[in-house]
Structure 1
Amino acid sequence: MGLQNPYQKYKQNSIMTATPQELVLLLYNGAMKFLKQAILHLENKDIPKAHSAIIRVQNITLEFMATVDRNYEVGENLYNLYDYMYNRLIQANISKEAKMLQEVYDMYKELRDTWEEAMKIAKKGK
């Protein structure tokens, strides 16, 4: 077994010990990170790397879509938002338009900030 990078080991331990709420936050942060990378790669005309980063965000978005509880109105609305974001990612990947990626980034940021605030409120309530 090879030596593991200390950062990678820390990151893996963080994921393995995270609560479900923290995992959602990690996914939101990951989507935002990959969107920023994709935008940067498009600006640098590195289409293969931009494509790869967009695909990673699409996969995260699909995971959110698969796990949302659509039995409630709020869940259905959230699913529809993720579906919209997913379609914008596809369009951005085809057209290579950073503007669409920025739109999805802004939506992910709002979702992440809202989720983070909900986590803080839930902790205070314990």
Structure 2
Amino acid sequence: MQNPQQVYQQQAIMNASPLQLVVKLYDLLLQATYRKDQNRVRDVLNTLTESLNFDHEPAEELFQLYQYCQDLARDENYEEIREILEPLRDAWEQASKGQTEEQAAD
């Protein structure tokens, strides 16, 4: 039998929009910085990097930022990673909420 919390988390991921998934990735990344889990930090940064769509404007800047955060992770500078990515996480969450509100209005 599965852990009820795991079932809930799986359902939340399956029902999440692409923007909500990005927010969840940022949450995982930030949690890993607090735990000083270098492997997890690097894995999530790789996932974020691989998910970039270079057909859109901010992709190149985000790519460079994620590469910089990879360098910071190698140096175990987790606080600076948080300082850089927490505001971005909040911006993605605001975009996600705006998208949800637009869909509700339709």
Give the whole-Å Cα distance in 1 for the aligned partners of 2:7 and 2:55.
38
Give the whole-Å Cα distance in 2 for the aligned partners of 1:121 and 1:18.
14
**Stretches of 4+ moved more than 6 A in 1?**
none
Match of 1:50 in 2: none
Percent identity over the alignment? 29
Unpaired runs of 5+ residues, structure 2, are none
Report if aligned partners of 1:25, 1:116 keep a CA contact under 8 Å in 2. Answer: yes
Do residues 57 (structure 1) and 41 (structure 2) align?
yes
Match of 2:58 in 1: 74
Match of 1:6 in 2: 4
Amino acid at match of 1:31: L
User: Which protein has the larger Cα radius of gyration, Structure 1 or Structure 2?
Assistant: 1
Deviation at 1:23, TM superposition (A): 0.9
Find 2:78's aligned residue among 101, 114, 118.
101
Report if aligned partners of 1:34, 1:57 keep a CA contact under 8 Å in 2. Answer: yes
Find 1:121's aligned residue among 70, 85, 98.
98
| Greater RCO structure (CA 8 Å; 6+ sep) | 2
Once the two structures are overlaid, the 10-residue window that deviates more, 79-88 or 66-75, is 66-75
Amino acid at match of 1:109: E
SS in 2 for 1:104: helix
Report if aligned partners of 1:70, 1:79 keep a CA contact under 8 Å in 2. Answer: no
- TM-score scaled to structure 2, two decimals? 0.86
Match of 2:23 in 1: 25
Give the whole-Å Cα distance in 2 for the aligned partners of 1:102 and 1:73.
27
Amino acid at match of 1:121: G
For the aligned residues, what is the CA RMSD? Answer: 1.5
Give the whole-Å Cα distance in 2 for the aligned partners of 1:112 and 1:36.
15
- TM-score scaled to structure 1, two decimals? 0.74
SS in 1 for 2:53: coil
